Structure 1
Amino acid sequence: MSKILIVLSAANIWTRADGSTYESGVWAEEFVVMDEKFVAAGCSVDIATPGGVAPTIDPHSMNPAVVGQDNVDHFRRYLDAVADRLASPLVLADIKASDYDAIVIPGGHGPVEDLYKDDDMGRILIEADRAGRIIAPVCHGQAALLAAKTETGGWLFAGRRMTSFSDEEEVELGTADNAPWLLAETLRTSGAAYEKGPNWAAYVVRDGNLLSGQNPASSAPLADAVLKALA
């Protein structure tokens, strides 16, 4: 039985360039769809956050106008069913990557508030990568990759192929203008071999043990790719 760690942001806001705050957290679809698939496949799935703080589900990801009422209903039922797991996540600082076969990181704007600069996130990713464990962020979850600094101060994932929520999608979402930094642009300037598919369409990139999905629509195919890699 494969053992998977889902790392969720503990942030409930995204601090904007002008100092204002934007309600944020974990994008419901990205957690629900992947967790659901992993559990259904018989995997053992743990959840961890910085400080063991119960994660906040991004309210925008539960807006019927954004994701559709049927999806909201499904997400709500699933989140209610796993409420106990979400209420008491593991503490990220206590995690050993060697205990897991895969590290999965859903997005929402939460990771660009906390995970991108979290030392324990960086340590876990370095441990996981060096052990050849699967690393699989989706959408804004790729911000967590920025925390992985080598002993010489370089970026662990420089030169690696990956995708993430694109700058173009951020513009279409209406959140680019006041963003303190844009994720895809930052990944590129940090040295990533960044690529993207059509806006809002499912797109997954695999580079060895690093699997990444572009946006919420990529959650299901990314989870399938993780399960295939683990098999």
Structure 2
Amino acid sequence: MTKALMVGTNTPTFKKIQRATGIWLKEATHFNDVMTDNGIDVDYLSPNGGYIPIDPLSLGTDDMDAVDWKFYLDDEFRNQHLAKSLKPKDVNPKDYQVIYFIGGHGAMTDFPENTELAQIAQTIYANNGIIAANCVGSCALLALRTKDGKRFVHGRKLTGFTDDEEALNGLTNDVEFLIEDELSKAGANFVKGTAFEPNVVVDDRLITGQNPNSATGVGDAIIKELLQ
């Protein structure tokens, strides 16, 4: 049975300012929905295990659609997947064909240098699996290395939350770094689309989305890759 490992942050606040954060709900729910619709089981993982916080801004009525409400009101999603996520030591990468890094600004604190998460992703990829990330979640790719120790993203086409989108959010000076800048510095071929419009980039078995509105497209691209 095909399984996907969804990775969320444990960080509930911005590092530089007093403001709540976490995962962006849509990036979990819409991706999870695609997996469920295609018969793919999911597990949730976080750097420390346990509670995965939700950015409260992603719960605004203007941002919530039917898919978001379906999951938000689901006891298993709230009380099991988010409240009791797995720890890295509890995960056997060989059980999964897909790993997906959920966005949300909390990821900027505990994804970019996390070697445990990187090792899990690298093992899944080495076993012909798929590495996927969306929006701010793409910062997790900074920790990945190839077998010869080089940056995994070097020379790869990918995307993530852009400098323009961060500026439109008014957070350029408040975030720890800029996703587009750091991935570009690491040698990635960063593919930027229109701000807040869906943009999905596929490079072999690396699949990335630009912003929260890209989460469904990332899931769809994974299904297409799995069917090849």
- TM surpasses 0.5: yes
Instruction: Find 1:41's aligned residue among 34, 38, 41.
Output: 38
Distance, in Å, in 1 between the alignment partners of 2:21 and 2:132 is 21
2:118 counterpart (110, 117, 122): 122
Take 1:22 and 1:86, find their aligned partners in 2: how far apart are those partners? Answer: 20
- State whether residues 5 and 103 of structure 1, in contact with CA within 8 Å, keep that contact through their aligned partners in structure 2: yes
Gaps of 5+ in 2: none
Percentage identity across aligned positions? 30
**By how many angstroms is 1:45 displaced?**
0.8
Residue type of the alignment partner of 1:190: A
Q: Hey, what's the Cα distance between the residues in 2 that align with 1:22 and 1:113?
A: 14
1:153 Cα deviation after fit: 5.1
Give SS of 1:10's match: coil
Normalising by structure 1, report the TM-score: 0.91
- Length, aligned pairs only: 224
Cα distance between partner residues in 2 of 1:62 and 1:74 = 12
Report the more deviating stretch, 207-216 or 37-46: 37-46
* SS class of match (2:201): strand
- Tell me how far apart the structure 2 counterparts of residues 22 and 117 of structure 1 sit (CA, whole Å): 22
1:179 is aligned, of 175, 180, 188, to 175
Q: Give me the whole-angstrom Cα distance separating, in 2, the residues matched to 1:203 and 1:45.
A: 23
| 4+ residue runs over 3 A deviation | 149-154
For 2:27 and 2:202, the matched residues in 1 are separated by 18
Does the alignment pair 1:157 with 2:150?
no
Aligned residues: CA RMSD: 1.7
Report which of the two has the higher share of helix: 1
2:47 to 21, 29, 50: 50
Ranges in structure 1 where 5+ consecutive residues have no aligned partner: none
Cα distance change on mapping 1:74 and 1:42 into 2, 3 Å: closer
Q: Which residue of 1 aligns with 2:72?
A: 79
For the residues of structure 2 that align with 1:207 and 1:24, how far apart are their CA atoms? 30
Q: Which amino acid aligns with 2:52?
A: P
Q: C-alpha separation between the residues in 1 aligned to 2:162 and 2:220? A: 22
